Chain A
Amino acid sequence: MKLTVPAFLGRMAFSALAALIGVVFALPLIWFLFAPFNARAELGLAIPNPWTLSNFFTVFENKFAMQALWNSLIQSVGGVILVGAAATLAAYALSRSSIPGKGAVTYVLLLFSSVVSGSAAMVPIFLIVSAAGLMDTHLAVILVFAGGLLPTAMFILRDFIDSIPKSYEESAMVAGASPVQAFFDVALPVIRPGIVVVVVWAFVNIWGSFLIPFILLRSDTNMPASVAIYSFYSEAGTPTVTLLAAYALIYSLPVIVLYLFVSWKFGFRFFGGIKA
């Protein structure tokens, strides 16, 4: 089919506009990929000449920066394990048992969860953590995140488990399995894709957060990477762009790797019931 001239021009205009919007969004990402390899990187976009890894060597030599990545890992993994395990058990109980008012409990928790890890609750959280003697510990950060993320994680998982037929566990129990066996042998493998989604979501949340560790941690040795990026600013507040770019790229890698791993291993898919 031949296009009429006005339709052709219309398409041209639309494509040009879409391309322009695309470029606006792509520019920071391109900077993010180019700057770390440029020994004279600035805030402006420039193709590295020559390409170099010197920025990375400088970052690797920075003990504080490396320690911060390790701290991020401790806090994220710790938080993820706590959120994953607790949310799975709680969501399973909420989905399968007939506790009166369980719906209300879930919604109230969900409502307040945004408050717990939000900035509005920073003062009470600070006071509680301080009173508990947990100031400047990894545990404080892990617990506050777990408290903040759990309700949403529970909510996501409960919905997921609700959609899985009860007959899986029932058939296991009729066949002779105890409720605990039925949970581990049958229910857990079936809800694993849901748990994976929650785990990735929780990891990304903790790994990328700044405010809570910034407030609850004091010593350099406990700071996570998100806070450590601050150290690449000079006293005057101007960023050391070269190091900042290299460190940012390293900092973002675990999240990218996690996504790729999960999508390769689990494919973010859902087994689903069989023609229920």
Chain B
Amino acid sequence: MASVEFKNVSKSFGEFNAVSNINLSIGDGEFVCLLGPSGCGKTTSLRMIAGLETPTSGQVMIGGDDVTYLHPKDRQISMVFQDYALYPHMNLADNIAYPLKVRGEAVAKRHGRAKEVADVLKIGNLMDRLPSQISGGQQQRTSLARALVYPSRVYLFDEPLSNLDAKLRLEARGFLNHLQRDMGMTAVYVTHDQAEAMALATRIAVMDQGKIVQYAPPIEIYRRPATTFVANFVGNPPMNLVPVDAIQGDGQLQLRAEGLAIGALPMSNGIAKALETGKTLTLGVRPEHLLIATEGSPNKVSGKLFANENMGPESLVTIERGDGARVTARIFTDDHIQLTEDVTLSFLAEHVHLFDSTGKRIPVDNEAPLA
């Protein structure tokens, strides 16, 4: 196992800057997810670790060695591809054992090792089949087996679960988490699925337009999203963001928006500083922190019922405010809610996230680090 580091790495394809000057340090034994929408540069970053792309500038380090211009075969890494890249003309045994074949292992030894790994992944009984003769889930595990069959310094995953159906994806995700606990491998995992990233990563690097927006443990990404972009990308459903007019007075802050009634918030250094750049802030509240309002709730948002999706344990209740913007709440269905056409949702002041006019999070004064 080894650490991975990006030093001022940029990659452009012609005029298009896929990755702009990123710095990222991945510790030995860490499972880091690169999370972001399509085209944010996450796959390009992964491919630069693999050696399948060469940075336009900057350095890529593995285990302290500069590998920027090293051929993939000399990097001692393994990678699981999104399309699995199983060789259609080889049976599973030969597919899994291929990395050992190019390392010059004898047939008996490499097939023995392939069988061991395949047994762990419950595909040991399929070794004579061709990739076209097994199911999608089995193909995925075969490509995982091929990555695990030889000792590797870093394990790279390029959206390995995106071609699986929902149930298999959950199962495979659990297995990957178990594997990480078991092996303590250094892994870099590319995904656009925030739930996958939250479930697997020790740290998540959220990327947007070729830049790393936030690099932190999942709990911090969830509780203290650095920008409105992160807040809107992480969470299921994502955080509700409402533009608000900020009015300052008497050491207090009043926030105004259509359909919103919120008690005065105490002023802080962070808020004061943010107001210097603009008076329009963004208020964020996660759907799971919204409740159906009762008498006397201090902070409320109201509107017309737009949708009510019952998911079993919870319902997603979406309301449309007077200005047409929507707010979604996750309401536990145990609460036996009766919804009328007009719905008012309430939230606690401690669950309020504030972002300045540029979309950056406004920190609370003397914020304690998250455990």
Listed in ascending order, the chain A residues whose CB lies under 8 Å from chain B are 165, 167-168, 170-178, 181, 185-186, 189-190, 271-276
- Cβ 8 A contact of A173, one of B71, B87, B132, B150: B71
The reply to whether A170 and B72 form a contact with Cβ atoms under 8 Å apart is yes
- Are B79 and A171 in contact, CB atoms less than 8 angstroms apart? yes
B266 at the A/B interface (Cβ < 8 Å)?
A: no
Does A170 contact B78, Cβ atoms closer than 8 Å?
A: no
Could you give, for residues 140-163 of chain B, a 1 whenever the CB lies within 8 Å of some chain A CB and a 0 otherwise?
Answer: 000100100010000010000001
22 pairs, CB–CB < 8 Å, chain A vs chain B? A167-B82, A168-B87, A170-B85, A171-B146, A172-B87, A173-B72, A175-B98, A175-B146, A176-B99, A176-B103, A178-B73, A181-B102, A185-B98, A271-B89, A273-B83, A273-B88, A274-B83, A274-B139, A275-B83, A275-B139, A275-B163, A276-B83
Q: Which of A176, A178, A185, A275 has the most CB of B within 10 A?
A: A176
* Binary contact track B65-89/A, C-beta < 8 Å → 1, others 0: 0000001110101110111111111
Residues of chain A contacted by B150 (CB below 8 angstroms): 175-176
Contact call B78/A167, Cβ cutoff below 8 A: no
Contact at B89–A165, with CB atoms within 8 Å? no
Taking A173-B72, A174-B78 as known contacts, 14 extra A-B pairs with beta carbons closer than 8 A to each other, sorted by chain A number, are: A170-B52, A170-B85, A173-B51, A174-B50, A174-B51, A175-B78, A176-B102, A178-B73, A186-B87, A190-B87, A271-B89, A274-B83, A274-B132, A275-B136
Q: Which residues of A contact B131 (CB under 8 A)?
A: 274
Q: Are B81 and A271 in contact (CB under 8 A)?
A: no
Contact-size category for B? 20 to 34
Tell me the number of A-to-B contacts counted with CB atoms below 8 Å. Answer: 83
Distance (Å) between the CB of B338 and the closest chain A CB? 46
Give the interface of B toward A (CB within 8 A). Answer: 50-52, 71-73, 75, 77-79, 81-89, 98-99, 101-103, 131-132, 136, 139, 143, 146, 150, 156, 163
**Chain A contacts for B71, CB-based, 8 A:** 173, 178
Determine which of A171, A176, A177 lies in contact with B81 in the assembled complex, contact meaning CB atoms within 8 Å: A171
Chain B residue contacts of A272, Cβ below 8 A? 88
Query: In the complex, how many angstroms separate the beta carbon of B213 from the nearest chain A beta carbon?
Result: 28
B102 and A175 contacting across the interface, CB-CB below 8 Å: yes
A160: shortest Cβ distance to chain B, in Å? 14
Judge whether B102 and A189 touch: CB under 8 Å. Answer: no
List of A residues within 8 angstroms of B77 by Cβ: 174
> What is the bound-complex CA distance between A125 and B310, given in angstroms?
78
Complex CA gap A173/B51 in Å reads 9
- Chain A residues with Cβ below 8 Å from B78 are 174-175
- Given the known inter-chain contacts A189-B89, A274-B88, A275-B163, please indicate yes or no for A177 contacting B83, CB distance below 8 A: no
The residue on A at minimum CB distance from B131 is: A274
Answer whether A174 and B98 are a contact pair too, CB < 8 Å, given A271-B88, A274-B132: no
Report how far A173 CA is from B146 CA in the complex, Å.
Answer: 13
Query: Which chain B residue has the least Cβ–Cβ distance from A272?
Result: B88
Kindly state the separation between the CA atoms of A78 and B93 in the bound complex, as whole angstroms.
37
A42 to B180, CA, bound (A): 82
Q: Shortest Cβ distance from B166 into chain A, in angstroms?
A: 16
Measured CA separation A181–B52 after assembly (Å): 16
- Docked Cα-Cα span, A276 to B81, in Å, equals 10
Closest residue of chain A to B130 (Cβ to Cβ) is: A271
The answer for the CA separation of A221 and B131 in the assembled complex, in Å, is 52
Please state if B81 and A170 are interface contacts (CB–CB under 8 Å).
Answer: yes
Q: Give every chain B residue within 8 A of A172 (Cβ-Cβ).
A: 87, 98, 102
Task: Determine whether the beta carbon of A190 is less than 8 Å from that of B50.
Answer: no
Name which residue of chain A comes closest to B76, CB basis. A176
Residues of chain A within 8 A of B88, CB atoms compared: 190, 271-274
Instruction: Report the minimum CB–CB distance from B265 to chain A (whole Å).
Output: 51
- Cα distance A273–B88 in the bound complex, in angstroms: 8
With both beta carbons as reference points, the residue of chain A lying nearest to B82 in the complex is identified as: A167
In the complex, A268→B51 CA distance in Å?
36
Asked whether, in the complex, the Cβ of B79 is within 8 Å of the Cβ of A174, the reply is yes
By the criterion CB–CB under 8 Å, are A171 and B85 in contact? yes
In the bound complex, residues from chain B placing their C-beta under 8 Å from that of A190 are: 87-89
| Least CB distance, B67 to chain A, in whole angstroms | 13
* B90 to A, closest residue via Cβ: A189
- Distance A185 CA – B51 CA, assembled complex (angstroms): 20
Bound Cα distance from A190 to B85, whole angstroms: 12
- Which among B84, B87, B131, B139 has the highest number of chain A CB atoms within 10 Å? B87
CA distance A98 to B133 in the complex (A): 34
A177: chain B residues at CB < 8 Å are: 73, 98, 102
For B136, the closest partner residue in chain A by CB is A275
A271 to chain B: which residues have CB within 8 Å?
88-89, 132
Alpha-carbon distance A189/B88, docked complex (angstroms): 9
Neighbouring A residues of B143 by C-beta, 8 Å: 171
Contact residues in A for B73 (Cβ distance below 8 Å): 173-178
